[in-house]
Amino acid sequence: MGTRAIAKKAVRKARSKRPATEHMSPVDTAWLRMDTPANLMMILGVWLIKPGVDYAAVCERLQERLLQYPRFGQRVVFGIKGPSWVAEDDFKIERHVVRELLPPGPKSREQQALQTRLAELAVQPLDAQHPLWQFHLVEHYQGGSALIARIHHCIADGVALIGVTQSMVDGGLVRRPPQGLETKGDRPVGDWGGWLSDLLVSPQKGLESLLEKGVASVTGAGKMVSQAVLDGAALAFMPDDSPTRLKGLPGPAKRVAWCQPLPFDEIKATAHALNCSINDVLMSCVAGAIGAYLQASGDDIKGLEIRAMVPVNLRQPEDEGTLGNRFGLAPMVLPIGISNPVERLYEVRRRMHEMKLSYQPLFTLGLLAAAGWMVKPGQDALLGLFSKKTTAVLTNVPGPRVKLKFLGATLDQDLVWVPQYGTVGLGISILSYGGGVQFGIISDAGLCPEPQKIIEKFEPEFAKLSFLALMLPWGE
């Protein structure tokens, strides 16, 4: 079957699953309208593939797999009742998969050229007349290929998109989105959290869920309200963030950086030896790397803290395979001014535990839903209050433990960068894949012109914790 025949079949199948016009949810509307010239709400990713892959084969695979999700065949149309998803009448895969050609040179220069192109694409808006996604294929990159993805946040959050990308690989199907960073542990969201999440995204679904619960959980609801009042007050009266060179008004240019993966098994063993979670170790490394970068830049960081917003997955089991945005944001204060790596690790562990017990992610999901109902100036004013109190967005998403295949080639590295909102100028992404953990940074060129200098601090910070773990008595 030819490429165009596959495209037409996929489009027909996608349309059969959805009505011709579908109103966008308030939360997705908020993400759609959050674009600014300095910060576009695009999730940016790269697959480094070896050996290389062919443009025509990539087009055929993406048509076949992505259009299983109707959203990838729909464009956004604005009406009296707000934005809606409408099926694209003239879908052409060539608009969504484009060739990129990087200047040839040594391996290090090729990586620098790819980073430069990624930074350019991060501030290049998607075509609003068509579905809001695009892939860029560099057919020849370091002995293989690089496949760049740009997907607007209004289509789906990072957790859902992990499932989407896994459907693209050899043997892939439409799969359940993996669990996100903060879905485990003793966070008290539980069933009532699921009801609140449903209510914020779809009032009808939330009310139906509440009726099913009946009055059996009144005690649980009372505890929830008590904790929610405390968390809401903490969010409402959140103090201003520390003034550092990383905080300011972002401009129209970005910088992109990444590091070679750290071995997942070593991180897991270190966390176990130090009686911490893997996330505790990774967050402590982030805090240490930022602190080391600022100190190397001549700043006094003693006792300094900065605030990062951490996405928290709020998806329920019945949401498996769905797109859209079902996550809140929790403020995580990073103790970058604690120089002792062990002291910093255990302080991070304490703060991570408090965050897991918080209802603040539900509050921020509610704020996003409310913002989606407002006129845009109202949304900008509401969300601007939080971006002014934040230095970074920090996300940690678990990917597949083994390396996947794409068109017969090996998906060697999987990289992703989280978008920043409002006046936030720094995005830090952590992605585990294929036995490694990958750190990526996207930054405003004026506030942090050389994010690679932060990236280079991650491995030494982990090495400190790993060395200390090796010093502990074996067998205990």
- As a whole number, the mean pLDDT across the chain is 82
Indicate the number of domains in the chain.
Answer: 2
Q: Does the pLDDT value for residue 51 go beyond 50?
A: yes
CA distance 67 to 72: 6
**H-helix segments, 259-417:** 264-273, 278-296, 341-356, 360-373, 376-387
Residue 461: give the domain boundaries.
190-401+423-471
Residue 270 and residue 358 in one domain: yes
Residues with Cβ within 8 Å of residue 301, at least 6 apart in sequence: 291, 294, 295, 336, 337
In a domain, 178, yes or no: no
- Sheet of 97-100: strand order equals 97-100, 133-141, 144-152, 42-50, 409-417, 405-406
DSSP state of 319: G
Closest CA to 395 of 413, 380, 415: 415
pLDDT of residue 372: 81
**Averaged over 104-125, what is the pLDDT?**
89
The pLDDT value given to residue 182: 35
Q: What are the pLDDT digits (tens) for 276-309?
A: 999 999 999 999 999 999 999 999 988 899 999 8
**411 three-class SS:** strand
Do 162 and 227 fall into the same domain? Answer: no
Do residue 254 and residue 387 come from a single domain? Answer: yes
Q: What is the CATH number of the domain that holds 240?
A: 3.30.559.30
Question: In Å, what is the CA distance from 451 to each residue of 104, 255, 423?
Answer: 24, 7, 18
201 with 349, same domain: the answer is yes
Check which CATH number belongs to the domain holding 83 and give it: 3.30.559.10
Lowest mean pLDDT among 11-15, 126-130, 305-309, 387-391: 11-15
Highest mean pLDDT among 251-255, 397-401, 464-468: 251-255
Quick check: is 182 in a domain?
no
Same-domain check for residues 89 and 213: no
Rg (CA), the chain: 22
CA–CA distance, 441 with 451 (Å, rounded to integer): 6
Please tell me whether the peptide bond between 51 and the residue prior to it is cis, using omega within 30 degrees of 0: yes
Q: Is 138 domain-assigned?
A: yes
305 with 342, same domain? yes
Domain-embedded: residue 395: yes
pLDDT per residue as tens digits for the range 116-172? 999 999 999 999 999 999 999 999 999 999 999 999 999 998 888 888 888 899 987
> Does one domain contain both 209 and 253?
yes
Task: Please tell me whether residues 105 and 40 are part of one structural domain.
Answer: yes
Please indicate, yes or no, whether residues 230 and 148 belong to a single structural domain of this protein.
no
Question: Among 41-50, 178-187, 387-396, where is mean pLDDT lowest?
Answer: 178-187
Is residue 300 domain-shared with residue 232, that is, in the same domain? yes
pLDDT the model gives residue 109: 87
153 in Cβ contact with 71 (< 8 Å): no
Same-domain status, 212 and 73: no
For the purposes of burial, counting CB atoms within 10 Å of the CB of 450, is it exposed (0-12), middle (13-18) or buried (19 or more)? middle
